[in-house]
A and B are shown apart, each in its own frame.
Chain A
Amino acid sequence: MLLPWEYGIRNLTRRPFRSGLTLAALSIVVLLIIVVVGFIRGLEVSLADSGDPDVVLIYSVTSGENIESSAIAARTPGLLTSSVAGTVNRFGVTFASPEIYLGTRIGNENGAVGLGLIRAVTETSPLVRRYVRLIEGKWPVRGEVIVGKLAAAKLGSDPGQLEIGKKLTFEGQDWTISGRFVAEGTAFESEIWCILADFQAATMRQDISLVALLLPPQGSSSELTLFCKERTDLELQAVRETDYYAALQQYYRPVRLLAWMVVLLVSGAGLFAGMNMMYGSVAGRIREIATLQTVGYRRRAILMSLVQEGVVLAAASSLLSGCIALTLLNGHAVRFTMGAFALRIDSFALTIGCGAGLFLGALGALPPAIKALRESVAASLKAI
Chain B
Amino acid sequence: MKVLNIVVSGFCLVLLGCAENDGKSQANSAKPAAASAFILAFEPADAVAVGVARENAENDQSIAVVGRIGGSEKPFVDGIAAFTIVDLKVQYCADEEGCPTPWDYCCHQDEVKTNIATVKIIDESGKLVSGDARELLGVKELSEVVVQGTAKRDAQGNLSLAASKVFVRAGK
Which residues of A are interface residues toward B (Cβ below 8 A)?
61, 220-223, 225-226, 229-233, 237
Supposing A220-B79, A222-B77, A222-B79 touch, asked if A233 and B157 sit within 8 A by C-beta, the answer is yes
Which residues of B are interface residues toward A (Cβ below 8 A)?
72, 77-80, 82, 84, 113, 116, 118, 120, 154, 156-158, 160
What are the residues of chain A within 8 A of B80 when measuring CB–CB?
Answer: 222-223, 225-226
What residue of chain A has the Cβ atom nearest to residue B82's Cβ? A226
Q: CA A225 – CA B79 in complex, angstroms?
A: 10
Supposing A220-B79, A222-B80 touch, asked if A232 and B116 sit within 8 A by C-beta, the answer is yes
Is A225 in contact with B78, judged by CB distance below 8 angstroms?
Answer: yes
Q: CA A230 – CA B113 in complex, angstroms?
A: 12
What are the residues of chain A within 8 A of B154 when measuring CB–CB?
Answer: 231
Distance to closest chain A CB from B105 (angstroms): 12
What residue of chain B has the Cβ atom nearest to residue A64's Cβ? B73
Identify whether the interface residues of A are mostly helix, strand, loop, or mixed.
helix
Q: CA A18 – CA B154 in complex, angstroms?
A: 82
What residue of chain A has the Cβ atom nearest to residue B72's Cβ? A61
Is B160 in contact with A230, judged by CB distance below 8 angstroms?
Answer: yes
- Residue among B72, B120, B156 making CB contact with A226, cutoff 8 Å: B120
Q: CA A61 – CA B116 in complex, angstroms?
A: 15
Is A225 in contact with B156, judged by CB distance below 8 angstroms?
Answer: no
Is B72 in contact with A225, judged by CB distance below 8 angstroms?
Answer: no
A220, A221, A226, A232 — which one has the most chain B CB atoms within 10 A of its CB? A232
What residue of chain A has the Cβ atom nearest to residue B160's Cβ? A230
Q: CA A229 – CA B82 in complex, angstroms?
A: 9
Distance to closest chain A CB from B110 (angstroms): 11
- Residue among A220, A222, A223, A233 making CB contact with B156, cutoff 8 Å: A233
Distance to closest chain B CB from A53 (angstroms): 14
What are the residues of chain B within 8 A of A223 when measuring CB–CB?
Answer: 80
